[in-house]
Structures are given as C-alpha cells and as structure tokens.
C-alpha cells in the first residue's frame, strides 16, 4: 500500500470524486425537502425540484402581470450590465494606474499611498455616500463595484509590473525605447494577461458589491429580486436564482480563462 500522499486518482476517479460531493448535497436536500413536504405540503422552506422548475418557468418565460416583462431576463440583463461597467471601469483604472505606479517612480511616490489608503476603506461603509452623491440610479451601483475592486486591481497590476525583471526594462532602452514605447511594446503586452487574472480574482467581490447595492436600492436585477421575494419566503425563486448567479459567475470565469489562453499563448495565463 503506497502512502496517501503518493496516491493519485486517474481521470475517471477524479471525475467521480469531484461529482460526489455535489450529488451528496443534492441528495441531502432532496431527502430533507421530501421529509418537510410530507409533514406539511405547503412548506416554503425547502421546495421540491418540481416547484422550483415551475417558478423558474414562470420567471423566465411568462410576462409578469405587473410589468409585462420576463423577469429573469430583465434581472439578468440589468445585473450583467452593471457588472460589465464596474469591471470595465476597474480594469481600465487598474491598467493605467497599475502600470503607471508600477513603472514610473514619480507616479509611484505620488499615488501608491493614496491607493493603499483607499483600498482600506470598507466599500460598504461608503455606499450611503454613493447613494447620496450619485442618486439611486445605475451610477451609484457601478461606483460601488469600482470602489470595491479597482484599488485591489491597481495594487495587483502595479505589483506585477514591478515584478517584471529590470533586465527587460534596461534591454528595451538599449534597443531604443522611450517611456511610452516601453509601456506599449514591453509592459502592456505582458500585463494584459495579468489583467485577465486580476479580473477573474475580482469577480467574486464584484458580484458581492453588485448584489449588496441591488438589495438596497434597485428596480430590477438578480440581487434585487432575491431580496424582494425574501419577504414572501419564496425559496422556490431564491434558490434557482442563486444557482443561476453561480452559473453566470462560473461562465464568466471560464470565458476569461479561455480568452487568456487564446490571446496570450506565451504567458501560461489562465492556469
């Protein structure tokens, strides 16, 4: 018998071992749900899969009696748009400020303490300020996401820029680079894959801030819907919505990883 640390699963057992916990959780849920429903057919806490499917069918394909919209898609569209704006603005800030402070000592001296300070502010604590300043519309929600993840991305990308071997910077200068063309040809192409990695790492936080902002003030959105139907204990909507959000997050992560491998084959990005 080999030691435990030396036993590696083959592909099939890896798949089975990976699926097992999911199946176990599902089984536990189904058992518990069946138990409760047997005791009280009107129980709302652990709805059966059938009820959930029915609710989702209603949310996704039937126009809502109040607004005439198909709510799941309206919510998804609103949330994804906010997320895209938040991630996009953060990525842009991360790239410019990250490369700037990582590469240019004068900018670093001027801006790093500020960025470090801002990144210590708990974003949720200034959400009221954002609502007051930007109103209850889209801007405040996007701003919360940006304030939440941009400082982390700036620091991450500044760190990655600083990590580039100094030999490369010297070499590029001996080849005739000025500061701008050094950024354009040497720094930026090597930092872009890191940007994708930073985005992937920030996805979780971005969702967190999005749902928090939507929970407090919104007219549609995945987070808004979850917090709205909470009043009616509508677990048959909340649980599928959470699963849907998880699936969206997974797909975004997967897409970013694919993009990294496709665009930057030299980088080993997206491992």
Partner 1 sequence: MSRLEVRNVWQSFADHVVLERLSLSIASGSFVTIVGASGCGKTTFLEMLLGQTQPTRGQILLDGVPLPAEPSPERGVVFQRYSVFPHLTALENVLLSSELRRSPLLGRLFGAARREARALAWQWLEAVGLGAHGNHYPERLSGGQQQRLAIAQALVNAPQVLLLDEPFGALDPGIRRDMHGLIRQVWRQTGVTVLMITHDLSEAFSLGTRVLVFDKPRIDPQAPHRYGATITYDIAVPARGRPLPPAAPAHAAAPPITPPSEKERTHA
Instruction: Indicate whether 262 belongs to the interface with partner 1 (CB under 8 A).
Output: no
Q: How far is the CB of 264 from partner 1 (least distance, A)?
A: 7
- Under rule CB under 8 A, residue 27 binds partner 1: no
Q: How many residues bind partner 1 (CB under 8 A)?
A: 23
Determine if 44 is a binding residue for partner 1 (CB under 8 A): no
* Dihedral sign of CA atoms 89, 93, 95, 96 in order: positive
- CA distance linking residue 20 with residue 29, whole number of Å: 14
What is the crossing angle of helices 71-103 and 222-229, to 10°? Answer: 130
Q: Per rule CB under 8 A, is residue 95 in the interface with partner 1?
A: no
**Shortest Cβ distance from residue 162 to partner 1 (Å)?**
14
Residue 214 vs residues 75, 96, 222: alpha-carbon distances, Å: 10, 29, 8
- CB of 52 or CB of 183, closer to partner 1: 183
Q: Using CB under 8 A, which of 184, 233, 243, 251 touches partner 1? A: 184
Q: What is the dihedral sign for C-alpha 237, 226, 73, 25?
A: negative
The residue range among 42-50, 110-118, 123-131, 181-189 that interacts with partner 1, by the rule CB under 8 A, is 181-189
Q: Does 261 bind partner 1 (CB under 8 A)?
A: no
Minimum distance from residue 253 beta carbon to partner 1 (Å): 23
Phi-psi label, residue 268: left if phi above 0, alpha if psi -120 to 50, beta otherwise: left
Position 266 contacts partner 1 (CB under 8 A): yes
Out of 74, 119, 190, 261, point to the residue binding partner 1 (CB under 8 A): 190
157 binds partner 1 (CB under 8 A): no
Binding site for partner 1 (CB under 8 A): 165, 167-168, 170-178, 180-181, 184-186, 189-190, 264-267
């Amino acid at each position: 018998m080999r030691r435990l640390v030396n036993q590696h699963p083959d592909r099939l057992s890896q798949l089975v071992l990976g699926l097992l916990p999911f199946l176990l959780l599902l089984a536990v849920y189904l058992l518990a749900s069946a138990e409760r429903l047997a005791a009280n057919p009107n129980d709302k806490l652990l709805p059966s899969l059938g009820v959930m499917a029915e609710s989702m069918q209603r949310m996704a394909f039937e126009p809502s009696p109040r607004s005439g919209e198909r709510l799941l898609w309206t919510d998804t569209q609103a949330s994804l748009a906010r997320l895209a704006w938040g991630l996009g603005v953060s990525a842009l800030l991360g790239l410019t400020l990250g490369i700037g402070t990582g590469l240019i000592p004068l900018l670093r001296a001027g801006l790093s303490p500020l960025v470090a300070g801002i990144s210590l502010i708990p974003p949720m604590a200034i959400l009221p300020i954002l609502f007051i300043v930007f109103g209850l519309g889209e801007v405040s929600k996007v701003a919360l996401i940006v304030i939440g993840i941009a400082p982390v991305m700036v620091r991450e990308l500044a760190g990655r820029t600083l990590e580039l071997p100094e030999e490369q910077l010297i070499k590029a200068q001996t080849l005739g680079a000025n500061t701008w063309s050094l950024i354009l040809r040497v720094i930026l192409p090597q930092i872009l894959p890191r940007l994708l990695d930073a985005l992937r790492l920030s996805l979780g936080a971005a969702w967190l801030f999005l749902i928090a902002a939507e929970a407090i003030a919104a007219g549609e959105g995945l987070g808004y819907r979850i917090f709205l139907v909470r009043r009616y204990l509508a677990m048959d909507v909340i649980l599928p919505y959470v699963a849907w959000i998880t699936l969206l997050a997974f797909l975004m992560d997967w897409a970013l990883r694919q993009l990294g491998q496709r665009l930057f084959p030299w980088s080993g990005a997206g491992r």
